[in-house]
Amino acid sequence: MIDHSKLRHIIKNIQNKKILVLGDIMLDQYIYGSVDRISPEAPIPIINIENNSYSIGGAGNVLKNLNSLNIKTSFISIIGNDTAGKTLKKYIEKLKNIEYALLIDKNRKTSCKTRYISDGQQLFRADDETIDSLGKVLKEKILNYFELFIKQTDIIIFSDYGKGIFIDMNFCQKLIKIALKKNKKIIVDPKGNNFEKYKGAFFITPNTKEAFNATKINPINNTLAEKCGKFIIKNNWSENVLLTRGSNGLSIIQNKKIDHIKSNTEEVFDVTGAGDTVISLFSASIAAGNDYIESAHFANIGASVVVKKLGTTSLTSEELLNSVESIKPYKILNKNSIINKVKSWKNNKLTVGFTNGCFDLIHSGHIDMFIKASEACDRLIIGMNSDKSIKRLKGKKRPILNLEARQKIIASLDMVDAVICFEEDTPIKLIKYIKPNILFKGADYKIEEIIGAEYIKSIGGKTIRIKLTKNQSTTRLVNILNSSN
């Protein structure tokens, strides 16, 4: 997980880098109005138009995200000789720290997506565009600008929206080979079911639908996400995979290493443009020398901000920093809210894990156990003894940390998805209430000694015993502190 200090460091460093974006730009139009009746001509709503707005979409949204974070950018795309194209050019001209080539194709309509919105909900969308491969002259112009802009570029983004630039596989491969000769890394946001055209890419960032279209493997859980990513790597479509899985977070699949990062948000208003934000922030962070995990966390934070907004939108440094302050509070739940949370997770076919303890003085042994448990499930719940419960079990001098402090510490951990306390001496009532798929406990317990193990087995779940870290326990820490006084 990235803390506030690390986030500031990343945001500062990415502003020293330059990114080249090549892709399909489009104009996003939003028409707002009110709906108070159904048409007598057909069972459809009648919208009374009140106002409208425009925004740069497609690959332009990638550009907009980078620009809003003050990252220097080069940009290459295609527009038509029409009103939409001229509107896009005016918006691009207003951006700072950018060099660009908006090439005009007289035989092409500028892609324009018009969304009709009422009361914050999108009613329908109308697309006006030309979807066709580029002519020879335009390809040559793109190659010339690509070779010009690439010289001072730290990393390259291919933003493929399937509108024309990357339709020709041979042309796509020609661009990639130019980049590889210059030792430049390419990160691809793909489209369509032919990922072979991206061969030579450093990272590919499909969402679940795009990954399924290309591999026929639906990454609905961690295991299938790994299988899907490995399939892409085995076929040499990309060196690495950053799989975006909506509310299930991100998966980074490498040849010999796999990491799953859980979503930072429980509230999704509109996923439009979230993929653009992910590839923008991930690429910028990689260019700045951060590792894949840090970069994915950075992108994940950005995605958690934009999905709460309407339409294709960028984000600012301030929004990123503010989001870190508010990521964790929702994790501390009561009995009423935990049931709804678990129901939602299970409806999404996520495996729910549970472990419990006093967690008075958090130590590395606890962290190691949480990490191992989270790797074996999709969502991890921590059950925590109340202060009164600990006093009954450990004596009047315990706990050292009160319930609020313990909950905040545990909730701040990235691998933990929910924290809930119980008043009883054992968690059996809570376990029966939650009905987790997996119960985790330390390997110092035998299965028959683990409270709840028999019940979990009776409902089709399982218990996993985790090997504990040596010489790590709260009792040991307390004894050390007492002996030093």
Are 250 and 265 contacting, i.e. CB atoms less than 8 angstroms apart?
no
Are 59 and 79 contacting, i.e. CB atoms less than 8 angstroms apart?
no
Give the Cβ contact number of residue 439 at 10 Å.
24
Q: Number of C-alpha atoms within 13 angstroms, CB side, residue 366?
A: 21
pTM: 0.71
Least confident of 89-103, 218-232, 270-284, 448-462: 270-284
Active-site choice (24, 105, 270, 276): 276
Least confident of 15-29, 154-168, 329-343, 448-462: 329-343
Residue predicted with more confidence, 18 or 411: 18
Q: Give the model confidence (pLDDT) of 55-87 as tens digits.
A: 999 999 999 999 989 999 999 999 999 999 999
Cβ partners under 8 Å of residue 193, min gap 6 = 213, 214
436-357-407-402 Cα dihedral, nearest 10 degrees? 150
**292-306 helix and 4-14 helix, angle to the nearest 10 degrees:** 100
pLDDT reported for residue 470: 60
Are 117 and 123 contacting, i.e. CB atoms less than 8 angstroms apart?
yes
Tell me the percentage of the chain whose pLDDT exceeds 90: 62
**Mean pLDDT (whole number) for 340-363:** 86
- pLDDT at residue 197 is higher than 90: yes
- pLDDT at residue 27 is higher than 90: yes
pLDDT reported for residue 479: 53
Token pair 């996993």 is found at 464
Q: Give the model confidence (pLDDT) of 414-427 as tens digits.
A: 788 899 999 999 99
Least confident of 164-173, 312-321, 393-402, 471-480: 471-480
Average pLDDT across the chain, whole number: 88
DSSP 133-191: PPPHHHHHHHHHHHHHHGGG-SEEEEE--SSSTTTSHHHHHHHHHHHHHTT--EEEE--
Q: Which of 290, 23, 289, 19 is nearest to 153 (CA)?
A: 19
276 part of the active site: yes
Cβ partners under 8 Å of residue 286, min gap 6 = 155, 185, 187, 203, 292, 295
Residue 49 has what DSSP assignment? Answer: E
- pLDDT at residue 267 is higher than 50: no
Least confident of 92-106, 247-261, 380-394: 247-261
Give the Cβ contact number of residue 77 at 10 Å.
27
Are 54 and 28 contacting, i.e. CB atoms less than 8 angstroms apart?
yes
Q: Give the model confidence (pLDDT) of 104-150 as tens digits.
A: 999 999 999 999 999 878 899 999 999 999 999 999 999 999 999 99
Least confident of 72-86, 277-291, 300-314: 300-314
Residue predicted with more confidence, 335 or 56: 56
Between the ranges 202-206, 217-221, 350-354, 389-393, where is the mean pLDDT highest?
Answer: 202-206
pLDDT reported for residue 316: 77
User: Domains in the chain, ordered, with CATH?
Assistant: 4-325 (3.40.1190.20), 329-484 (3.40.50.620)
pLDDT reported for residue 408: 86
pLDDT reported for residue 271: 42
Report the SS3 class of residue 390.
helix
What pLDDT band is residue 307 in, cutting at 50, 70 and 90?
low
Token pair 């191992």 is found at 372
Q: Which of 195, 200, 168, 199 is nearest to 184 (CA)?
A: 200
